[in-house]
């Protein structure tokens, strides 16, 4: 590695680490003060609070890495430009790509690292964070140690194209309260409605009590063909208690393998809109780490160009970073919204922003360098 590359990388790395730590500190500080009253009222120990916020770190790193990477790169190159070092480097015969190589390599490394953290650490840390919140923070001192808290208003798409509405699920006893299950055909017309006062997992199957099953015509939409009442009934429901628990996982915290398995599991459910949204989310998980490289690529030309007074370039680079980051996030949000609305295919919605920004970056580079 050239001395110049090491010099630039050292500056970028130092600023990046400092920026990420600053973002993490500010996030934890703001969240801590907003929840301090609850922590005191529920006698939450310092050890629990430390574990709770440590479990936030992988998510904070992932979410702040893009802006931190862009700020570090632009700050470094703008500072070089402000001290006429870029002019000296270019006078030695180095072109844009040779000068930008350390930053682009660093951005690729951060992209790969974000992908790894997102896949390996974020799902686990999110589950730990949720568990600490449910069992240590959200409960009063008298309730702790008595098992997991009840899950209220559980709603999810299940197998056999069924939509579940559960008022209360007890993860300790696997008991259900206030059950409504609506089954649909492939055209999303109702074919069955199950309403039960409560239910319990027997170890083999679900047993519902005070159950009413209404069936609908397959020819005339919403036409009732039969109503059956049962004091108790074993149900043909393939979901097990662990499946009910897994519905609590935040889909945004799933890794690619988990999300792909989740989509495959419900691919025959007929829930077209939900499945389309999940496919958009899956493609976004692939493109999300790439934004570190793409934003750096489009920000670098501005840092290497002479903009105004050289002494003001450091502050100008920060402003450019904020503008570029804001525009990227807005464009990405619009693309994802169009894909989830059906105007674009799932992969188009996720990939359109990085592709357009990459093309814009290349246009600016070849036009000015």
pLDDT per residue as tens digits for the range 22-34: 999 999 999 888 8
Residues of the chain where predicted confidence (pLDDT) is lower than 70: 1, 134, 136, 138-148, 246-253, 265-271, 306-318, 321
Q: Are 211 and 200 in contact (CB under 8 A)?
A: no
Alpha helices (runs of H) in the chain, residue ranges in sequence order: 3-41, 46-54, 57-82, 85-91, 96-120, 122-132, 241-246, 256-265, 272-287, 291-304, 313-340, 346-368
pLDDT per residue as tens digits for the range 67-96: 899 889 988 888 887 777 877 887 888 888
Residue 105: per-residue pLDDT: 94
Residue 274: per-residue pLDDT: 72
**CA separation for the pair 367, 363 (Å, rounded):** 6
How far is the first Cα of the chain from the last one, in angstroms, to the nearest whole number? 24
Residue 47: per-residue pLDDT: 87
Residue 218: per-residue pLDDT: 79
**CA separation for the pair 81, 8 (Å, rounded):** 12
Please name the residue that has the structure tokens 């440590």: 54
Q: Retrieve residue 352's tokens.
A: 């359109």
């Amino acid at each position: 590695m050239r001395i110049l590359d090491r010099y630039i990388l050292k500056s970028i790395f130092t600023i990046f680490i400092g920026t990420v730590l600053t973002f993490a500190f500010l996030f934890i500080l703001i969240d801590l003060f907003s929840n301090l009253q609850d922590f005191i009222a529920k006698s939450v120990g310092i050890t629990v609070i430390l574990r709770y916020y440590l479990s936030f770190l992988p998510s904070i790193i992932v979410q702040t890495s893009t802006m931190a990477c862009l700020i570090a790169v632009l700050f470094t190159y703008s500072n070089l430009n402000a001290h006429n070092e870029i002019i000296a480097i270019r006078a030695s015969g180095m072109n844009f790509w040779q000068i930008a190589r350390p930053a682009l390599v660093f951005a690729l490394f951060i992209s790969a690292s974000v992908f790894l953290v997102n896949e390996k650490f974020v799902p686990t840390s999110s589950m730990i964070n949720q568990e600490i919140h449910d069992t240590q923070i959200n409960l009063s001192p008298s309730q702790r140690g008595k098992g997991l808290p009840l899950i209220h208003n559980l709603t999810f798409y299940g197998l056999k194209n069924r939509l579940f509405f559960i008022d209360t699920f007890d993860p300790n006893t696997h008991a259900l309260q206030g059950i409504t299950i609506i089954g649909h055909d492939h055209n999303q017309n109702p074919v069955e409605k199950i309403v039960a006062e409560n239910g319990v997992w027997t170890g083999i199957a679900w047993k519902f009590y005070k159950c009413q099953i209404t069936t609908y015509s397959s020819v005339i939409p919403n036409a009732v063909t039969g109503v059956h009442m049962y004091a108790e009934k074993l149900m043909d429901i393939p979901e097990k208690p662990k499946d009910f628990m897994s519905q609590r996982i935040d889909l945004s915290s799933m890794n690619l393998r988990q999300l792909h398995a989740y989509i495959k599991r419900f691919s025959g459910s007929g829930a077209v809109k939900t499945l389309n949204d999940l496919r958009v989310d899956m493609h976004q998980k692939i493109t999300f780490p790439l934004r570190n490289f793409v934003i750096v690529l489009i920000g670098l030309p501005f840092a290497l160009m002479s903009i105004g007074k050289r002494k003001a370039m450091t502050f100008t680079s920060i402003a450019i970073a904020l503008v570029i980051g804001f525009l990227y996030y807005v464009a990405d949000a619009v693309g994802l919204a169009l894909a989830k609305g059906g105007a674009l295919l799932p992969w188009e919605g996720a990939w359109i922003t990085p592709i357009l920004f990459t093309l814009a970056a290349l246009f600016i580079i070849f036009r000015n360098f």
